[in-house]
Amino acid sequence: MRSIKTKEGKGIKRVNINIPTDLHNAFKSTTAAQGLEMTVVLLEFIEKYVAKNGPAPPKQLKSRRA
């Protein structure tokens, strides 16, 4: 498992999501029972998701020339 800085700093971006209270409580208790931090579990999920699906291609800017 990796160590995550708890404060935002260089190279760290905060992400907020809204989830149902029951799901949050279940996730929190499950990770705690496994001795894991929720942030670490979510970060690993996101890394695996991006590795599998690839990052989004950069958007092409439309030319304003007529």
Q: Is 54 helix (H, G, I), strand (E, B) or coil?
A: coil
DSSP state of 23: H
| pLDDT score for 36 | 98
pLDDT category, 10, cuts 50, 70, 90?
confident
pLDDT at 61: 76
Q: Are 32 and 25 in contact (CB under 8 A)?
A: no
Domain ranges across the chain: 21-53
DSSP state of 28: H
What pLDDT sits at residue 62? Answer: 75
Read off the pLDDT of residues 18-58 as tens digits, 9 standing for 90 and up.
Answer: 999 999 999 999 999 999 999 999 999 999 999 999 877 77
Cα gap 32→58, rounded to integer Å: 38
pTM: 0.67
Q: What angle do CA 46, 48, 54 make, to 5 degrees?
A: 90
